[in-house]
Amino acid sequence: MKLTLLFCWIPFQAHSQVQGKVELDRNMFNAEKPSESVKIRASVWYKGNQSIQEVPYLDIKTDSTGITHTNVDVKYYLFIDPDLHEYFYYRNFSDTSKVVMHCKGGNPFEKYGGWDLYSDKKFDHDESQKLADTVISSNDYSRYRFRKIKNGKANDFILYTLCGKKEIPIIYLKPFSKEIGCPVVRLDTYYEGRLVSITQLQYISDTLTSKEKRVFQAWQKNLE
């Protein structure tokens, strides 16, 4: 049996007139089968209000002995111009790479994968609560719990904010960051008290390399 999943991610927002790189790390846990827990890492480059993101996919295979094997790879590189509402999918991160899919308007993420970086939508919840602050690696984090009850089961979303990151141009979970007043940098998801995933935004660089700039310059030409 083989199962391939393209991933759509919870939105975050790119700021204009800046450049750099971030990574979004997501760990998904399987309490019953720890060996099947999965870690996904994807990069996002930004320049001005445009961005290029890795579109990861999870390839799951079960062999003849019943053992499940997982592999995470990059399916596409997605270039977005939010002002023109244009989306270009490429196979490789190169200034010579060719467009394999182009969408204008609409929402290509559910079909082709990717993150809706520019969305102002919130995930649904029934109640929220400010939790006690915590310290991780010498950083002081504020925490907020957003709870959703579905079919009598509790889904808890714990948001970590780091106010020292206010000037960082990539805003994860933008509407919640705006509501709280500090950028969200981590999301822990619980189902009935059991931790099922941790998603964390890592700030890598506030500049682009020469290669990354060439890729932006080449891919911007498709807008002309």
Tokens of 134: 């915590």
Q: Which amino acid is at 167?
A: E
The domains of the chain are located at 2-223
- Round to whole Å and give the CA distance between 29 and 66: 20
CA dist 118 and 82 (Å) reads 7
Confidence class of residue 6 from pLDDT cuts 50, 70 and 90?
low
**Which three-class secondary structure string do you get for 159-177?**
EEECHHHCCCCEEECHHHH
The Cα 171–Cα 83 span in angstroms is: 18
pLDDT at 60: 74
Are 158 and 188 within 8 A, CB to CB? yes
Are the C-beta atoms of residues 159 and 181 closer than 8 Å to each other?
no
pLDDT at position 34 is: 66
Reported as a single tens digit per residue, the pLDDT across 42-68 is 999 999 889 999 999 877 777 777 777
Give the pLDDT confidence of 73-94 residue by residue, as tens digits.
899 999 999 889 999 999 999 9
Written as six digits, the tokens of 215 are: 């890729």
What are the φ and ψ backbone dihedral angles of 169, each rounded to 5 degrees? -75, -20
Given a cut of 70, is residue 16 above it in pLDDT?
no
Place of tokens 């209000």: 49
Return d(Cα 58, Cα 9) in angstroms, integer.
13
What is the token pair recorded at 35?
């060996």
Average pLDDT over residues 35-41: 80
Give me the pLDDT at residue 2, please.
43
Angle at 79 between CA 74 and CA 84, to 5 degrees: 155
Q: Which fold has domain 2-223?
A: outer membrane lipoprotein receptor (LolB), chain A (2.50.20)
Highest mean pLDDT among 40-54, 104-118, 166-180: 40-54
Residue 224, C-beta contacts closer than 8 angstroms, at least 6 positions apart: none
Burial code (b: 16+ CB inside 10 Å, e: under 16) for 92-106 equals: ebeeebeeeeebeee
Q: How many CB atoms lie within 10 A of CB 146?
A: 19
Continuous H helices in 85-155: 109-112
Please tell me the number of Cα atoms within 13 Å of 143 on its side-chain side: 15
For 104-111, what is the mean pLDDT? 84
